Amino acid sequence: MMRRIFVISIVSLTAVLAVTYIFIQEEPVTLAEEKSAYKQNGEFILRIKVEGAEPDIIVHQSLQYIGEEPVEIKHRTPLVSVSLFHRNHDYTGSFMSRKMEKGDIHHQDAVAITVDEKGKQNLYIQARFRADGDEMEIDHVEELMFN
């Protein structure tokens, strides 16, 4: 009789632990707070906004021109690169050309990034382009917290 109670207790405890483990594993990782930031280099402003959307984060990015005279920018794809996992940025394809006037904003499609780990992570953002033939680069690192 005692042995039967012991076996039932062990089986019940194992089942409770297994169910608890499953619920802990399925808990989604969420962005602790939305972030907005900008960084200026000369006559250009890189703007970003990070929003949570389980299980992803959504990163909006744009480049604004604030100079007085019109300028032609040339860039590969993407104009603004975003990475949560590493500092490396990949630019592909042929150069694209775009004329910008004072106040113009070049918006890119938002980027969705799946997040698996809780804690602090760095979001690396880089805009790389040529403005009237001059090489331009705007780098920004935004620290994000995930719960």
The CATH code of the domain that includes 88 is: 2.60.40.2360
pLDDT digits (tens, 9 = 90+) for 14-32: 877 776 666 666 678 889 9
The pLDDT of residue 6? 73
- Any domain includes 25: no
What is the C-alpha to C-alpha distance for residues 135 and 119, in angstroms, rounded to an integer? 36
Lowest mean pLDDT among 7-11, 31-35, 107-111: 7-11
Residue 10 has pLDDT above 90, yes or no: no
5 in a structural domain: no
Predicted confidence at residue 13, as pLDDT, reads 78
Please count the other Cβ atoms lying within 10 Å of the Cβ belonging to residue 102: 13
Residue 68: burial class (beta carbons within 10 Å; 0-12, 13-18, 19+): exposed
Q: Is residue 95 in a domain?
A: yes
Is 77 a member of any domain? yes
The tokens describing 25, both together, are 């594993």
User: Is residue 129, in this structure, part of any structural domain at all?
Assistant: yes
Are the C-beta atoms of 40 and 140 separated by less than 8 Å? no
* pLDDT for position 24: 65
Has residue 29 been placed in a domain? no
Tokens 């632990």 -> residue:
17
Residue 6 lies in a domain: no
Q: Is residue 19 part of a domain?
A: no
Residue-number span of the structural domain to which 115 is assigned: 35-146
Q: Report the number of distinct structural domains present in the chain.
A: 1
